[in-house]
Structure 1
Amino acid sequence: MDWLARVQTARRGGAVLLIVAFSMIGALFALLPKSMPDAVPPQGGPPAAESTKVAALLKDFPDADQTAALLVFATSDGPQREVLTGPQRAAVDQRATALAGYSTVPQAVRPRFSTDGTTALITVPVRAQSGTTAIVNQADSLRQTARQGLPGGLRAWLTGPVGFQGDTITAFAGADVRLLVITASVVAVLLIVTYRSPVLWTVPLAVVAVADGLARFVVAALADSYGLSVDASILGILSVLVFGAGTNYALLLIARYREELLAEPDTRRAMRTAVVAAGPAIVASAGTVALSLLMLLFATLAGNRALGAACSIGIVIALLMVLGVLPAALVVCGRKVFWPFIPHYLEPEDRGEGGHAIWGRIGSAVQRRPWQIGGAAVLLIVLLSAGLSGATIGLSQTDQFVGHPESVRAQHLVAETFPAESGPQLVVLAHDADAADAVGIAESVEGVRSARVAGNANGWTKIDVAAAGTPQSDAAFATVKALRAAYASRGHALVGGPDAAALDQHDAAARDRVVIIPLILTVVAVVLLVLLRSLVAPLCLIVTVIATYVASLGCGNWLFQHVFGFRAFDTPVLLYAFLFLVALGVDYNIFLATRAREQRLDLGAREAMRYALTRTGGVITSAGILLAAVFVVLGVLPVVALAQIGTIVCIGVLLDTLVVRTLLVPALASVLGERFWWPAARAATRSTSH
């Protein structure tokens, strides 16, 4: 670290380093392939899942490229629907004739009317499209044709596989760009407020923005080479993480640099001291995040592995830019970059605590009453954690969007007026010789409405099974499990289809949580043990981070159920929220604890923690507020999973920044004293006695 600091702060080294660094970055921008990510996350279970095997076998069937569009006609999608009049029913008949032109089976395109006469349904078998543009164009064409020339008061909506695919693509269309623009804007505003300077904010923002752009190019190139399923949502999360974490590291470095400028007249020496002092904590923090993200490579779901690889690359690039380029850029700019609040050299007797006074008072209060303040913090965490009561995991297909897109509204209407058409559609594959028995077994399973043979290929017979309930609901999953259990005990067959794939994803996500969460905790523990050289301090910090996670889930669950109307956590939310909260939350504890450890031998354990809080309180709070605001940006997309992740991480970061790291950790350190650093404390005592 000292060698790097000397190169960055040499008289000409900084400028040379900037020229070399940006020349290399420019070359990478020019040479790396410019591939476009998938618009939406990949669907389906892990490779070994039963639904995945069914999907592979179905590719050999004649109707493998066929899907369906459901067009719903009514005067309203609410309870105030009116009975369709004669002219309106005639118009539906005409639209059926027009829609048949899109179908692979035109003669099958016929309207059906609900028993109450308020709704008409036209099922249009169509050829499945592979590209996102083609899918959206197909959905738009079907909508336009269905709505053309309808009489007054009659409306049409598109749902079914084509409708949901189109709405999902629309929800993610430009997601990464929108998130990038909003994230950069939020960071810019918060940096201006933090630094109170019209100049300084541009330097870290430019460095982090370059890091984000480079990370996106590198990730896209590696995705092409290694077959990673990188989609727009992953790139969006990547940008949020790079901007959030990268700016946090920049805030810590600049805060230490500004502090050293008050004690050192030479800007180069001040930066050298800042890099040497703050660099190890920043490296440890970034290393913790990157290694925690890499634990996702042990996941069974392709999306989890892709997110882990992409975001770990982003964190490493952000670290290299902040520690490798930002110091040189600040030294080249000189003290005036802080204008109008330029930090000038002060004599030791004139420095005092300056802007850190409020944090000094907080630290002193915690030091005087550690049991009371620590107990209040624990009580708050317990109360927030109580919000987890009644929490469930898993959302149905119609619950996975924020708001009410057309396909969701139409699906609810179909479920109300055509219950036999709205349930889960499953696919059973049985060997030709077992097909008749397989149909009988399916019909005997509770939750199955009907089962019929729908074709065969390569010795397999396809059986379409209509089930009761809502797609991707608990009832649908129960039917899939019952079918699989029935075939396992009475015959051999494979159960697949969208609902089976959703169940396999749900089960794989549960397995990933059981495997990856302990791995992440192990990584964090090892990093803290190496960095702090203590057993007690890492244990305390890990426990506080876990407590923050549980409290954030509780608070989030209460908000989701009583404010936002989300009935459950979406499947990936618990793992992603844990990953980001633990990996990023431990950052602030690392910044605080390393500063306390730095001063412990001179000041003692309790006073060192107060000093550390005094010196880091302002910058860590600013960093926490910035990171929380950046993650809230995920809520701009109409996808429940991203909105939930952003909300939980925002709550957790604020709780960690304002309560856990400010009150609870200093209270624990004050209560334990030198025992907080055991066994390093005893070694330190021995060393000072000689």
Structure 2
Amino acid sequence: MSPTPRRTRWLVPLVLIAVWLGVGGVLGPYAGRLDEVATNDQAAFLPRSAESTEVIDRQKAFRPDETLPVVVVWTGERGAGAGGRQAAADRALASLAGAPGLVGEASPALPSRDGEALQSVVQVRPDLGDRLPDALDRIRAAAERVPGTTVHLAGPAATQADLSHAFAGIDGLLLAVALATVLVILLLVYRSLLLPLVIILGAVFALGLACAVVYVLADHDLVRVDGQVQGILSILVIGAATDYALLLTARYREELALRDDRFAAVRAALRRSAGAVVASAATVALGLLALLLSDLTNNRALGPVGAVGIACAVLGSLTFLPAVLVVLGPAAYWPARPRSLDGRGAGHGVWHRIARLVDRRPRRTWAVTLAGLSVCAAFAPALTSKGVPFDETFVNDAPSVAAQRALVRHFPGGSGNPVVVIADAGRLERVVAAARRTPGVASAASVTRSGRPGGGPPLVVDGRVRVDVTLRSAADSDAARDTVARLRQELHAVRGADALVGGYTAQRYDMLRTAERDRTVIVPVVLVIIFVILTALLRSLLTPALLVATVALNFLATLGVSALVFRHVFGFTGTDPSVPLYGFVFLVALGVDYNIFLMSRVREESLRHGVRQGVLRGLVTTGGVITSAGVVLAATFAALGVIPLAFLVQIAFIVAFGVLLDTLVVRSLLVPALIRDLGAVAWWPGRIGRGVSGSRPAGTR
């Protein structure tokens, strides 16, 4: 080769490195700016077609200035001075008139039946953002002027403030925990000082690019981003980019041990691993995009945001990383030395022994493994997904949760979160009567011009009235949802009322029904997507069907274990309705990743050495890198647990445990044993299934 081509071939890797350094420098800051376009308003993530969503739009006409209610609760012992507390409470809140962020006047303080508590409602602007805590502090300071009482702030505004606090600093904290975890694992895996830093740098560049793209999309209202989506995006990009990097660098290490030319080694590594990486990324991205079929806005938001993150992760892994590997050459693995993994002596014990076990007793191996997974899966129905009770929303007790407990102790369970009914004004009396006779309803009254229920003629807007219905049970309880179902049945039967039932409890009810519908629609779509991609990659029908079945079984086994752990270790009595769907999409899509890495190598080796040797060589040569990738991904998802929200803690456990179960059991034992037992039949109707294998000499590369 002439000197000129030898010099110019350095141009491409150096340009790629320069481009990614520019991406990191210019777009990197966007990883910390997503909160500028994020919303944690839970009303923005309701089912698009649900009755409760329509009520939100209709009720705006009854209060032109949109507000968030704060329920002020005073608790104190009965006795001397208790009678004057109500007047003191009214005077205290009256002093807030005109205060920044507050809207209108506070409602009169109402005493509880036991005489030990008072409650009042103050309205605040919904667009306060970072200023919301200041408004709540002003309300608390005024309320504390009532002597002999303890003040609690409950209601949607207080909850939103606690959510904002939970997500505060999410970018820095989550990213620091994830990257530190990945760095430690990579140092242990590679025993190299330089390569882990290169892999992490590539993951950070990919995250910066992904966040910049998502920022632009969210700024143009093309996608929605909340704290949950924001956190999952960071974890997904870091985990996926690291996994793809592990696969590529492991193959590059093998190629370096066989040839002196670093350029040829990178080309060979890309040629032999790019197919698996792209197929893996396509599986996850298309699985996430299937969430666009959901009727829940936050599910629909995660789909394209997650797909963007996966696309950026694979782009960085196949451009930036190979360019750096070319420049560094064998020095990337210093102080270790690249070595060949030939499938016979590789594995340094553990993977060679596992391969021998699979080879000697394949049927016993897959039978025992299948039985164990089936036992775990038997507990899956115990995982209730009817929603997380409000007092379990935050892992650590939040002020709004303590306030809600105080409110429920002294007032009807639905106080502060009434069911909102919008109905025809000419049928008001019938609607109120029907609501009051519904089992589980404590009271029902039409909203007056003051914006509060009762105490005057109803406010009529465009021939419609609003009725606030207070339930006897806590607004987040199963009993409250049952009452909403009965209430809808009663009110829909009132002829001519055209009644719509909404409010907090109705929203939770609609989200539960929608989540059930989403699982019915999305789960089969994801399975079909995965099957099609595996069929195209492996050129077989039976093996893809087996792989899809094994990852589905792994998902059910993970749900079974999660049901036991959530109840008996974490103390959760329920899960969010979206948790099973999120868990399915992540576990099945990501679980297929490792089977793709394994089976693409098994197919390659089977074509050269036959099915038996193909399984053994594929298992040994990929065992270490896939296990490392699984541990990295599990650790990065476990980092979601630093955010004190039950939803993210549950997702973190399901994905982390499920990935480890898939990596250590399904991919290491079940799948290889099944393929080894079936032999060439497993590859039907492809070349291997037709007996076309071993056509090239064993030493041929």
Cα distance in 2, alignment partners of residues 686 and 39 from structure 1: 56
SS at match of 2:591: helix
RMSD (CA atoms): 2.7
Equivalent residue number for residue 682 of structure 2: 676
Match of 2:542 among 531, 536, 540: 536
Equivalent residue number for residue 451 of structure 1: 444
Cα distance in 2, alignment partners of residues 388 and 31 from structure 1: 40
SS at match of 1:583: helix
Equivalent residue number for residue 124 of structure 1: 121
Give per-residue Cα distances to partners, 1:342-365, cap 9 Å, x unaligned.
226x7x99x963445421221111
Is the Cα contact below 8 Å between 2:291 and 2:300 reproduced in 1?
A: yes
Percent identity over paired residues: 39
The one-letter code of the counterpart of 1:488 is H
Cα distance in 1, alignment partners of residues 107 and 630 from structure 2: 59
The one-letter code of the counterpart of 2:466 is K
Cα distance in 2, alignment partners of residues 399 and 569 from structure 1: 10
Q: Structure 2 vs 1, CA of residues 683 and 164 (structure 1 numbering), >3 Å: closer, same or farther?
A: closer
* Bigger fraction of residues in helix: 1
Deviation at 1:528, TM superposition (A): 0.2
Q: Structure 2 vs 1, CA of residues 71 and 127 (structure 1 numbering), >3 Å: closer, same or farther?
A: closer
Q: Structure 2 vs 1, CA of residues 107 and 238 (structure 1 numbering), >3 Å: closer, same or farther?
A: closer
Give per-residue Cα distances to partners, 1:100-119, cap 9 Å, x unaligned.
3336565743362551x5x3
Cα distance in 2, alignment partners of residues 102 and 622 from structure 1: 59
Give the stretch that moved more between structures: 132-141 or 518-527: 132-141
Q: Structure 2 vs 1, CA of residues 185 and 89 (structure 1 numbering), >3 Å: closer, same or farther?
A: farther
Is the Cα contact below 8 Å between 1:66 and 1:125 reproduced in 2?
A: no
Deviation at 1:686, TM superposition (A): 5.2
Q: How does 1:86-105 map to 2 (within 5 A)?
A: 86=80, 94=88, 96-102=90-96
Cα distance in 1, alignment partners of residues 87 and 176 from structure 2: 47
Is the Cα contact below 8 Å between 1:58 and 1:64 reproduced in 2?
A: no
SS at match of 1:464: strand
How high is the TM-score relative to the length of structure 1? Answer: 0.91
Do structure 1's residue 372 and structure 2's residue 367 form an aligned pair? Answer: no
Q: How does 1:404-423 map to 2 (within 5 A)?
A: 404-419=397-412, 422=415
Is the Cα contact below 8 Å between 2:424 and 2:464 reproduced in 1?
A: yes
Give per-residue Cα distances to partners, 1:172-210, cap 9 Å, x unaligned.
222233222211221112111211122221101001101
Match of 1:425 among 418, 422, 425: 418
Deviation at 1:148, TM superposition (A): 5.8
Give per-residue Cα distances to partners, 1:219-266, cap 9 Å, x unaligned.
110122243211222111001000001100001111111111211122
Give per-residue Cα distances to partners, 1:315-336, cap 9 Å, x unaligned.
0011000001101111112212
Is the Cα contact below 8 Å between 2:240 and 2:310 reproduced in 1?
A: yes
The one-letter code of the counterpart of 2:556 is V
Is the Cα contact below 8 Å between 2:606 and 2:693 reproduced in 1?
A: no
Cα distance in 1, alignment partners of residues 522 and 108 from structure 2: 48
Do structure 1's residue 359 and structure 2's residue 371 form an aligned pair? Answer: no
Equivalent residue number for residue 608 of structure 2: 602
Is the Cα contact below 8 Å between 1:135 and 1:166 reproduced in 2?
A: yes
Q: How does 1:492-507 map to 2 (within 5 A)?
A: 492-507=498-513
Q: Structure 2 vs 1, CA of residues 487 and 157 (structure 1 numbering), >3 Å: closer, same or farther?
A: closer
Q: Structure 2 vs 1, CA of residues 114 and 444 (structure 1 numbering), >3 Å: closer, same or farther?
A: closer
Equivalent residue number for residue 3 of structure 1: none
SS at match of 1:69: strand
Give the stretch that moved more between structures: 186-195 or 233-242: 186-195
Equivalent residue number for residue 16 of structure 1: 15
Match of 1:437 among 417, 430, 434: 430
The one-letter code of the counterpart of 1:507 is R
Q: Structure 2 vs 1, CA of residues 686 and 383 (structure 1 numbering), >3 Å: closer, same or farther?
A: closer
The gaps in structure 2 that reach 5 residues or longer are 98-102, 448-458, 697-701
Q: Structure 2 vs 1, CA of residues 262 and 102 (structure 1 numbering), >3 Å: closer, same or farther?
A: same
Q: Structure 2 vs 1, CA of residues 186 and 8 (structure 1 numbering), >3 Å: closer, same or farther?
A: farther
Is the Cα contact below 8 Å between 1:71 and 1:158 reproduced in 2?
A: yes
Give per-residue Cα distances to partners, 1:480-525, cap 9 Å, x unaligned.
2112222333332111112212222222222111111111111100
Is the Cα contact below 8 Å between 1:423 and 1:470 reproduced in 2?
A: no
Deviation at 1:536, TM superposition (A): 0.8
Do structure 1's residue 484 and structure 2's residue 520 form an aligned pair? Answer: no
Equivalent residue number for residue 455 of structure 2: none
Equivalent residue number for residue 595 of structure 2: 589
Q: Structure 2 vs 1, CA of residues 688 and 204 (structure 1 numbering), >3 Å: closer, same or farther?
A: closer
The gaps in structure 1 that reach 5 residues or longer are 1-5, 76-82
Give per-residue Cα distances to partners, 1:77-128, cap 9 Å, x unaligned.
xxxxxx356468767864552233336565743362551x5x3223133233
Cα distance in 1, alignment partners of residues 695 and 192 from structure 2: 48
The one-letter code of the counterpart of 2:40 is V
Q: Structure 2 vs 1, CA of residues 290 and 561 (structure 1 numbering), >3 Å: closer, same or farther?
A: same
The one-letter code of the counterpart of 1:310 is V
SS at match of 1:178: helix
SS at match of 1:495: strand
Is the Cα contact below 8 Å between 2:389 and 2:574 reproduced in 1?
A: no
Cα distance in 1, alignment partners of residues 464 and 75 from structure 2: 40
Equivalent residue number for residue 70 of structure 1: 71
Equivalent residue number for residue 384 of structure 2: 392
Cα distance in 1, alignment partners of residues 84 and 316 from structure 2: 66
Do structure 1's residue 219 and structure 2's residue 214 form an aligned pair? Answer: yes
The one-letter code of the counterpart of 1:112 is P
Match of 1:273 among 247, 260, 268: 268
Cα distance in 2, alignment partners of residues 7 and 56 from structure 1: 67
Cα distance in 2, alignment partners of residues 41 and 332 from structure 1: 48
Q: Structure 2 vs 1, CA of residues 230 and 423 (structure 1 numbering), >3 Å: closer, same or farther?
A: closer
Q: Structure 2 vs 1, CA of residues 386 and 143 (structure 1 numbering), >3 Å: closer, same or farther?
A: farther
Is the Cα contact below 8 Å between 2:435 and 2:441 reproduced in 1?
A: yes
Q: How does 1:153-164 map to 2 (within 5 A)?
A: 155-164=150-159
Is the Cα contact below 8 Å between 1:601 and 1:684 reproduced in 2?
A: no
Q: Structure 2 vs 1, CA of residues 168 and 449 (structure 1 numbering), >3 Å: closer, same or farther?
A: same
Equivalent residue number for residue 450 of structure 2: none
Cα distance in 2, alignment partners of residues 612 and 687 from structure 1: 15
Do structure 1's residue 61 and structure 2's residue 65 form an aligned pair? Answer: no
Cα distance in 2, alignment partners of residues 402 and 72 from structure 1: 23
Is the Cα contact below 8 Å between 2:424 and 2:465 reproduced in 1?
A: yes
The one-letter code of the counterpart of 2:355 is G
Give the stretch that moved more between structures: 633-642 or 375-384: 375-384
SS at match of 2:195: coil
Cα distance in 1, alignment partners of residues 62 and 694 from structure 2: 79
Q: How does 1:276-287 map to 2 (within 5 A)?
A: 276-287=271-282
Cα distance in 2, alignment partners of residues 34 and 627 from structure 1: 24
Is the Cα contact below 8 Å between 1:251 and 1:623 reproduced in 2?
A: yes
Equivalent residue number for residue 193 of structure 1: 188
Cα distance in 1, alignment partners of residues 238 and 8 from structure 2: 25
Cα distance in 2, alignment partners of residues 686 and 178 from structure 1: 53
Equivalent residue number for residue 46 of structure 1: 47
Is the Cα contact below 8 Å between 1:366 and 1:666 reproduced in 2?
A: yes
Equivalent residue number for residue 471 of structure 2: 467
Do structure 1's residue 550 and structure 2's residue 560 form an aligned pair? Answer: no
What count of residue pairs does the alignment treat as equivalent? 671
Do structure 1's residue 515 and structure 2's residue 521 form an aligned pair? Answer: yes
Cα distance in 2, alignment partners of residues 101 and 165 from structure 1: 24
Cα distance in 2, alignment partners of residues 421 and 511 from structure 1: 27
The one-letter code of the counterpart of 2:577 is T
Is the Cα contact below 8 Å between 2:30 and 2:208 reproduced in 1?
A: no
Do structure 1's residue 573 and structure 2's residue 579 form an aligned pair? Answer: yes
The one-letter code of the counterpart of 1:215 is A
Cα distance in 2, alignment partners of residues 237 and 424 from structure 1: 30
The one-letter code of the counterpart of 1:213 is G
Q: Structure 2 vs 1, CA of residues 473 and 357 (structure 1 numbering), >3 Å: closer, same or farther?
A: same
Match of 2:239 among 244, 247, 272: 244
Deviation at 1:628, TM superposition (A): 0.6
Match of 1:135 among 97, 120, 132: 132
Q: How does 1:98-117 map to 2 (within 5 A)?
A: 98-102=92-96, 106=105, 108-110=107-109, 112-113=111-112, 115=114
Q: Structure 2 vs 1, CA of residues 339 and 93 (structure 1 numbering), >3 Å: closer, same or farther?
A: farther
Is the Cα contact below 8 Å between 1:424 and 1:469 reproduced in 2?
A: no
